[in-house]
């Protein structure tokens, strides 16, 4: 399957996916209409959903539907099954929204998906903490509403709970490795970086949606899930390294956000690569300027990265990593359709946002 064909699959299903969102909001808000004493809280929930779940590429959510379509014969995929796949896809998107709203507060971010971060909006502030909890609770309310009678319901609940925990552990690793105001370059190792990426990004971005579709298709064997996880965690690492690169060298008009990894003292792929290559003098420059808010210090770090030719290092990594992924898919995908994994790899290869 070539990348253009896979692109068509995502684009073709995106409209269907987006058109299902009002139904999701309705399910999450209509049941409580009979309780007038919480009417204004439900109105707040609706505002939280519409501001924070929309505006992204929805690749994670779409992956549930597209993977299920690849696993189940079309004649066996009835309208109800498609509705459930769309709904579980939105559960993935709401789980991500929960993570992102919280992450933006922790990172003091300004923009997300091309607009002001939710907590930065007038009148929101730290009330956004409770809004993240509403987003998380919405995931499990939806799973119950759409999937309670299905044989895979318990597997989905456990998958979402485990994935949320893994992601939160990843965020913990991220925070304790790079505490604000305490720059310790010795913590920024490749080993620690890989651990952060695996837990914070790879599980929920790639394994969660594919595993959800596998369970929905009746595939619950440990061997199949283990093989899928091996591939998908590698794709997740590839994806996060791209994200780290785009945080600094991407176009904010394309990415929809202004990167803050340098200011936030993050254990980013770029700083790890810099440390592997820096002379003692260059390491001192990094020590003096990394994790600082001043624009000139951020610019100094960027110049250092450019002096070390990190954009070229990234370009080489991207080529080599993609080739490695293709080989991994050939080895571990069967009996699952390799196209599921190739499509995901091709979708993010050389992405700009």
Q: Hey, which residues are catalytic here? A: 57, 98, 103, 107, 112, 174, 200, 239, 243-244
Q: CA angle 71-75-80, nearest 5°? A: 80
Number of residues assigned to the chain = 353
Burial 200-214 (b: 16+ CB within 10 A, else e): bbbbbbbbbbbbbbb
CA-only gyration radius of the chain, Å: 21
Q: In sequence order, which residues have a C-beta less than 8 Å from that of residue 56 and are 6 or more positions away?
A: 93, 96, 113
Among the listed residues 251, 283, 270, the one whose alpha carbon sits nearest the alpha carbon of residue 311: 270
Q: Residue 293 in 3-state DSSP?
A: coil
How far apart (Å, rounded) are the C-alpha atoms in residues 329 and 196? 23
How far apart (Å, rounded) are the C-alpha atoms in residues 63 and 60? 5
How far apart (Å, rounded) are the C-alpha atoms in residues 228 and 333? 7
DSSP structure class, residue 250: S
Among the listed residues 244, 246, 241, 251, the one whose alpha carbon sits nearest the alpha carbon of residue 319: 241
Is the sign of the CA dihedral 286, 189, 243, 55 positive or negative?
Answer: negative
């Amino acid at each position: 399957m070539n990348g253009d064909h896979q692109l068509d699959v995502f684009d073709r299903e995106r409209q269907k996916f987006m058109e299902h969102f009002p139904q999701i909001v309705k399910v999450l808000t209509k049941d409580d209409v009979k309780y007038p004493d919480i009417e204004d809280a439900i109105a707040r929930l609706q505002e939280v959903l519409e501001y924070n779940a929309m505006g992204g590429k929805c690749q994670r959510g779409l992956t549930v539907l597209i993977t299920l379509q690849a696993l189940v014969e079309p004649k066996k995929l009835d309208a109800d099954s498609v509705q459930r796949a769309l709904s579980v896809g939105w559960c993935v998107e709401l789980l991500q929204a929960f993570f992102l709203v919280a992450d933006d507060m922790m990172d003091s971010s300004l923009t997300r998906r091309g607009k002001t971060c939710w907590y930065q909006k007038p009148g929101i502030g730290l009330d956004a903490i409770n809004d993240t909890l509403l987003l998380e609770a919405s995931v499990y309310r939806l799973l119950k509403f759409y999937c309670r009678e299905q044989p895979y319901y318990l597997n989905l609940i456990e998958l979402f709970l485990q994935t949320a925990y893994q992601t939160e552990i990843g965020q913990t690793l991220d925070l304790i490795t790079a505490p604000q105001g305490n720059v310790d370059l010795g913590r920024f190792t490749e080993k620690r970086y890989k651990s952060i990426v695996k837990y914070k990004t790879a599980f929920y971005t790639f394994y969660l949606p594919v595993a959800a579709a596998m369970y929905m298709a009746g595939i619950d064997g440990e061997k199949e899930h283990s093989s899928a996880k091996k591939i998908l965690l590698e794709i997740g690492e590839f994806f996060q390294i791209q994200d780290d690169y785009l945080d600094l060298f991407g176009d904010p008009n394309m990415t929809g956000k202004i990167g803050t990894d340098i200011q936030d003292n993050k254990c980013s792929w770029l700083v790890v690569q810099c440390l592997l290559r820096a002379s003692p003098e260059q390491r001192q420059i990094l020590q003096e300027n990394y994790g600082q808010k001043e624009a000139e210090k951020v610019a100094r770090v960027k110049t250092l990265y450019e002096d070390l030719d990190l954009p070229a290092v990234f370009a080489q990594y991207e080529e080599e990593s993609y080739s490695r992924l293709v080989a991994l898919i050939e080895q571990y995908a069967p009996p699952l359709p390799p196209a599921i994994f190739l499509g995901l790899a091709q979708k993010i290869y050389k992405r700009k946002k």
